[in-house]
Structure 1
Amino acid sequence: MDPIVEVVALLLGFLGWVLAGVALPNRYWKTSTVSGTVITTSTIYENLWMSCASDSTGVHDCREFPSLLALNGYIQASRALMITSIVLGAFGIVATLVGIQDASPGRGGSCSSSRDFFNPMFPGIKYEIGEGLYIGWCSAVLAIAGGSCLTCSCRLATEEK
């Protein structure tokens, strides 16, 4: 196996795992939009754990979601998938560290939101995608890239033998 590909895969996987950990508690998974209003006095934003509002003076008021069973299905699924990705990512990093052969240190080496947003007759608050989702998407891309590098590294090793 090529040790450089293994180290790059480890770094990409680790960076993806860290970004998933940053995205999980981020408050801005979706934020209220300002389109169609002249004066915005408050902004509403949500994540997987709470809904918050902030006014123009900078005061934040947050309310945690009261019950797991009362949540929408996409929030329950998102919570489960994010926590699963962090747990499995930790196992993956440990497995990668154990499996790296030549790179020892001594050798140098959400659908309903968009539907409501574009519906001109929707009476509620319209939300835009927040920074938490972008961080989560970046972590997914990095994790997939790291896994692809590991897969290619294993494939190259079998072809050499």
Structure 2
Amino acid sequence: MASNGLQVLGLVLALLGWACGALVCAAPLWRISAFVGGELVIAQVLWEGLWMNCLSQTTGHIQCKAYDSTLALPTSAQAARGLTVLSLLLSVLAVMLGVAGAKCTHCMGDGNQASKARLARIAGVLLIVAGLAYLTPICWTAYATIRDFYDPTVAAPLKRELGPALYLGWGASVLLLLGGALLHVGSAAPGGRALPVSGAAAKPSPSTGAAGEVKQQEKSFV
């Protein structure tokens, strides 16, 4: 039987992961300016995100501007956009399917528990796929940022550090993966009924027994 508590906990974690993922996707804090060199006073800090970049000044004034062209962005940035949006859409679909297939709901009726359990398991798999899809651009952006930071050929003004959105993105990915795993584990299929075995099928027929005795006699004469 499906575990109601695991299903509800998985859905709650999935909703939290989706909310954090949507916030990370919109936030322009994926990468920030690196404080390298001998300067102690930084007048401006550059924030970079998937959809816009912002310039923060020491006076507290912040100016944000969306990217002029999507095709002009690097291939990694375009792939990160596509994967994050795809992950969020898959999460919405998975949560809808999970709510429909949860044991505590009555969307598909109470007499169709096998179909509801199967639907909830599919929702769990979709959440795991969404978590992996969201984790990919987060890890790739972090790797590229660290690689460029320690690259001596990259100029100091072009070096960047990991922004707070990346850390929140890792947390969102973990919530989606954990929510999908709990939903899948808590949606075990109900046990099927064993088919009865008739006595006639279990016991050998007289003709079968006679045929066996004839074969044994033939083998003894050979």
Q: TM-score normalized by structure 2?
A: 0.65
SS at match of 2:175: helix
Please tell me whether residue 137 in structure 1 is matched to residue 170 in structure 2: yes
Point out where structure 2 has 5 or more consecutive residues left out of the alignment.
107-140, 193-222
Unaligned runs of 5+ residues in structure 1 are: none
Q: CA deviation at 1:61?
A: 2.2
**What is the aligned length?**
154
- Name the CA distance, whole Å, in 2 between partners of 1:131 and 1:75: 18
Q: Is the 8 A contact 2:13 2:175 kept in 1?
A: yes
State the 1:46 CA deviation. 0.6
Question: Which whole-Å deviations, capped at 9, do the CAs of 1:90-120 have from their partners, x for residues lacking one?
Answer: 111100000001x249xxxx13222110123
Larger helix fraction of residues: 2
Q: Percent identity?
A: 30
Residue deviations 1:97-156 (CA, integer Å, cap 9, x gap)? 00001x249xxxx132221101233114211111111222111100000111122123xx
What residue in structure 2 maps to residue 8 of structure 1? 9
- Per-residue deviation, 1:159: 7.7
RMSD: 1.7
Please name the residue that 2:42 is paired with: 40
Q: Matched residues in 2 for 1:158 and 1:91: separation?
A: 21
SS at match of 1:24: helix
When structure 1 is superposed on structure 2, of 142-151 and 59-68 the one drifting more is 59-68
- The C-alpha deviation readout for 1:44-97, integer Å capped at 9, x for no partner, is 111001122111111222232111111011110111111111111111110000
Partner of 2:183: 150
Partner of 2:23: 22
Q: CA–CA distance in 2 between the matches of 1:38 and 1:84?
A: 42
Matched residues in 2 for 1:127 and 1:144: separation?
29
AA of the residue aligned to 1:120: P
Q: Which has the larger radius of gyration?
A: 2
Q: Deviations along 1:6-63, whole A, 9 cap, x unmatched?
A: 1111111111111111111112111111132322111011100112211111122223
Q: Which runs of 4+ in 1 moved over 4 A?
A: none
CA distance in 2, matches of 1:138, 1:74: 21
Question: Secondary structure in 2 aligned to 1:53?
Answer: strand
Task: Give SS of 1:39's match.
Answer: coil
Q: 1:98 to 1:159 in 2, by over 3 A?
A: closer
1:65-144 residue pairs with structure 2 within 5 A? 65-101=67-103, 103-104=104-105, 110=141, 111-123=143-155, 124-144=157-177
Give the TM-score normalised by structure 1: 0.88
